[in-house]
Amino acid sequence: MADNKTEYKTNMFINLILKYVLEGAIIAVCAYYIPVFFKNSLRKPTLNEIFSIALTASLTMLLLDSFAEKVATGARIGAGFGIGNNLLNTTF
């Protein structure tokens, strides 16, 4: 019986880690390619800057998910809408 609980907790922990690693990786890809494709920056970001952005975003979402789940959902939706709106240069 204890093995099932331990296995369940391990699986949940691995799922959480993968969720935030994937989220950080997606943010890192965006942090690299958005300035490159849209030429809205004078230079390409360095790997250190990209890693810092991805790590900060992942840890922020981890904390928001842990302590304020509804705020985390709103933050994700708002970030997506904000990035999309800036890329299209339109106003609502």
Q: What confidence tens digit (pLDDT) does each residue in 52-86 have?
A: 989 998 888 888 888 877 777 777 777 766 666 66
Write down the pLDDT at residue 34: 79
**Containing structural domain, residue 76:** 2-88
pLDDT in tens, 35-51: 777 776 677 888 999 89
Point out the least confidently predicted range of 5-9, 24-28, 29-33, 88-92.
88-92
* SS3 of residue 28 by DSSP: helix
Pair of tokens at residue 30: 């965006």
**What whole-number distance in Å separates Cα of residue 14 and Cα of residue 65?**
16
Q: What is the pTM of this model?
A: 0.68
The count of structural domains within the chain is 1
CA–CA gap between residue 76 and residue 20 (Å, rounded)? 13
- State how far the Cα of 60 lies from the Cα of 41, in Å rounded to an integer: 25
